[in-house]
Structure 1
Amino acid sequence: MTDLQKRSLIKVAALSAVAAAAMVGCGKKEEAPAPAPAPAPAAAAPAPAPEPLKIAFAYVGPVGDGGYTFAHDGGRKALEKEFGDKIKTTYVESVPEGADAERVLRDMATQGNKLIFGTTFGYMDIIQKLAPEFPDVKWEHATGYKSGPNSATYDFRTYEGAYLAGIIAGAMTKSNTLGVVGSVPIPEVLRNINSFTLGAQSMNPKIKTKVVWVNEWFAPPKETEAATSLINGGADILFQNTDSAAVLKTAEEKGKRAFGWDSDMTAYGPKAHLGSAIFNPAGYYIKTTKDALEGKWATQQSWWGVKEGAIDMVSMAEDVPAEVKAKVEEVKKGLADGSFSIWKGPIAGQDGKELIAAGTVADDAFLKGVNFYVKGVEGKVPGGK
């Protein structure tokens, strides 16, 4: 075989091998590509946190008054502690009763507050005016008596604390003359003066009570002047229905005794201090806010006292006799369980005429209309007959 023949055979064999490989390749089934992994489901967006309930307080005095407004602001702080970021509270202090109050309360409503507390009697008619204009706002008014579809009233039986102070004063006085610095002659204040006197007379029937009015809730210079006048008039123990600690401070300076009012005022006159008749609004504020958050808020007229834990006599002085302290505790227990009534007859008016018959207990309607002095209180009710 020639070289040419050999090369031809090799070429044919190579071409045959290529063709065979091609045929095998054409007969092979292609594998499908692996499916792409399914995309992970998108994480659900977190539900937006509910907006906090905006709550505003209008105060008639400064938060540092040591008494009435200080107690209300303590209640506001208790709210924040109880509900945390579920609520947002703000306040405006020293809001006079009148045109300024309307401006402040209206601004609170327009700023998105849905629960507004007006903490003094003089805001009553203003709130009644504003409530229909802002029907989505829940209005709460302290110490008043008018309410509406979206406005409620709340008050504290401060006359119970006044009576407890009277028990101590009646037992501790040496002159049998007590003095009271009065703020504004409305039923609330008259009720407190009379209850203080009734408490004192329960321990000492010879008690006489003198009253000097300052016609303001918070007016330390006037309160000081009134307290001094009462001391000069023979009173050796002072009581007050004003918002500052000026009366207690004056008693401390003059060597007399006195009570704290609305808040524990011991620090303002430790030597003069016989005890503090306090109110604690925290429980009411917490209940009302809880109702608002849960959609259960309803207009009502509330009046809380010793029974609800809103009124107390605290920090009684060491020199108050044990039997007097025991009497105070006994009356507190009776007020709490309903077995004792302060305004139970016979009770006579200043002129000696019967106001409440023996064995009869005055109802709340009677108490809310007090416009007189009981027997033993000297002077004339301002504006009375």
Structure 2
Amino acid sequence: MNIITKEDKDMKKSVVLLLGLAMAASLLAGCGSKPAEAQKTQAAADSTAAGKAEDGGAGTEAADGGETSGGGLKVALCVTGAVNDMGWCQSAYDGLKLVEQDLGCEVAYTENLDAADMVATFTDYAANGYDVIIGHGFQFGDPALEVGELYPDVKFICIEAEASAANVASYVMKCEETGYLEGMLAASMSQSGKLGFIGPVQGASLVKIMNAYEDGAKEVNPQIEVQTAWTGSFTDTALAKEAATAMIENGVDVLGHCANESGTGALNAATDAGIYATGDSYDQYDLAPKAVLTSAIYNVPQLIKTAVSDIMDGRFEGAVKQLGMAEGIVELAPYHDLESAIPEDVKKLIEDRKAAIISGEFVVPCDTTARN
């Protein structure tokens, strides 16, 4: 697996469909298929890029120093945080590894990507011959449409976006379904009648989870208070812990989050205070075993493999696709060692509602309007 890092270098011209358009194409560099290897210093990446730039190549090499992997499509992944965050970004990284291992694709990724650099990074990959570019998060929708218009032969896959075009598809997970169940569980376990929920940056795909959590909680207890906060960061764990601690001091005794890597701070605050919490994206029990009752699991690896398989098999469709619990794309993690702490009637309540969601008998409201 290859890793490509961002470069602060001069703009270079690319010949694209619109004659004379100057396009940002930062030089590609670096290698590393494992999360730990992705944590290179920028100086090392710059040095590697300088050497690669001389021969005009894509600036990639195999993780083991040998030939690049895969004989199929060239697939690139872009994420906003670290690929070892035990959450949102790592789920996509696992999907990329699945594409490499099971489909024989040559793969690369860019982590810790800022919004300002998304168009340039997409352009780099497209200009260097990548067939499929995946943006993991709603923020990648507009960049995919912009760059996709210039590279009609490249397929763009956006997770949790609302973008679609002839060569752009969005895969939207019904994360509100697990958010609703977590809210029901949190309200059932609360003694104070106060819950807290922390998000990173406001966007439809995250607002719907926060709102569903509140809606699920209020099904159990219409008078329950749900305190919410947006940290403004996907990666700053200190901000999330600070917000969570303030909520705990205000009486919250169960915390939830959809805050990517920064959500770890909320889980740490719950552990320190001896209260319960729910995880997001991954089974996050190992991060806070004394606090995490369950987690919302998003089966992003299978989703990414399905999307790339569709492209390989000629089934690609430029559309927005909705997938949820019925399709096995979202689910709740086991209760693990905290199962005994959850009353049997509460577990039955959650199971019954989950069955109704899967059967279609109950449809979780998808409210993407921020309430705070």
Question: SS of the counterpart of 1:129?
Answer: helix
Structure 2 residue runs of 5 or longer lacking an equivalent are 1-69
Unaligned runs of 5+ in 1: 1-49, 344-366, 374-380
Does 1:279 pair with 2:298?
yes
Deviation at 1:188, TM superposition (A): 2.5
Aligned mate of 1:334, from 323, 334, 356: 356
The 1-side partners of 2:306 and 2:157 are apart by 13
Q: Residue in 1 aligned with 2:92?
A: 72
User: Could you tell me which of 143, 147, 150 is aligned with 2:167?
Assistant: 150
Structure 1 match to 2:113: 95
- Residue in structure 1 matched with residue 199 of structure 2 by the alignment: 182
The aligned amino acid for 1:81 is: Q
C-alpha distance in structure 2 between counterparts of 1:332 and 1:283, whole Å: 21
Q: CA deviation at 1:271?
A: 0.7
1:193 matches 2:213: no
Q: 1:234 aligns with which of 248, 251, 261?
A: 251
3-state secondary structure, aligned to 1:211: strand
AA aligned opposite 1:171: S
- Cα deviation for residue 372 of structure 1 reads 4.2
More displaced 10-residue stretch of structure 1: 60-69 or 188-197:
188-197
Aligned-partner Cα distance in 2 for 1:226–1:326: 32
Q: What corresponds to 1:137 in structure 2?
A: 154
| Cα drift, residue 138 of structure 1 | 0.4
Q: How far did 1:167 drift?
A: 1.4
Residue equivalent to 2:76 = 56
Any idea what SS the aligned residue of 2:234 has?
coil
Whole-angstrom distance in 2 between the partners of 1:260 and 1:372 = 21
Alignment partner of 2:343 out of 309, 321, 329: 321
Aligned equivalent of 1:208, options 225, 241, 244 = 225
The answer on 1:256 being equivalent to 2:275 is yes
- Once the two structures are aligned, what percentage of the paired residues are identical? 27
Work out the CA distance in 2 between the residues paired with 1:243 and 1:110: 30
TM-score normalised by length of structure 2: 0.77
CA-atom RMSD in angstroms: 1.6
Question: How many Å separate the matches in 2 of 1:137 and 1:173?
Answer: 49
- Partner SS, residue 201 of structure 2: coil
**CA offsets per residue over residues 57-79 of structure 1, 9 Å max, x none?**
00111011111101111222222
Deviations 1:148-188, CA, capped at 9 Å, x for gaps: 11111111111111111111111100000001112222232
Match of 1:310 in 2: 329
TM-score, normalization by structure 1: 0.74
> Would the alpha carbon gap of residues 78 and 322 (structure 1) be closer, same or farther in structure 2, given more than 3 Å must change?
farther
Give the match for residue 352 of structure 1: none
**Offset of 1:203 from its aligned partner?**
1.8
Shift of 1:198: 1.5
Query: Residues 162 and 170 of structure 2 are in contact (CA less than 8 Å); yes or no, is this contact kept in structure 1?
Result: yes
State the one-letter code of the partner of 1:93.
E
The number of residues matched between the two structures is: 298
Question: Which residue of structure 1 aligns with residue 177 of structure 2?
Answer: 160
Give per-residue Cα distances to partners, 1:295-341, cap 9 Å, x unaligned: 22121111211011111111222211222222222222221121112
Deviations 1:73-92 (A, max 9, x none): 12222223322x3x122111
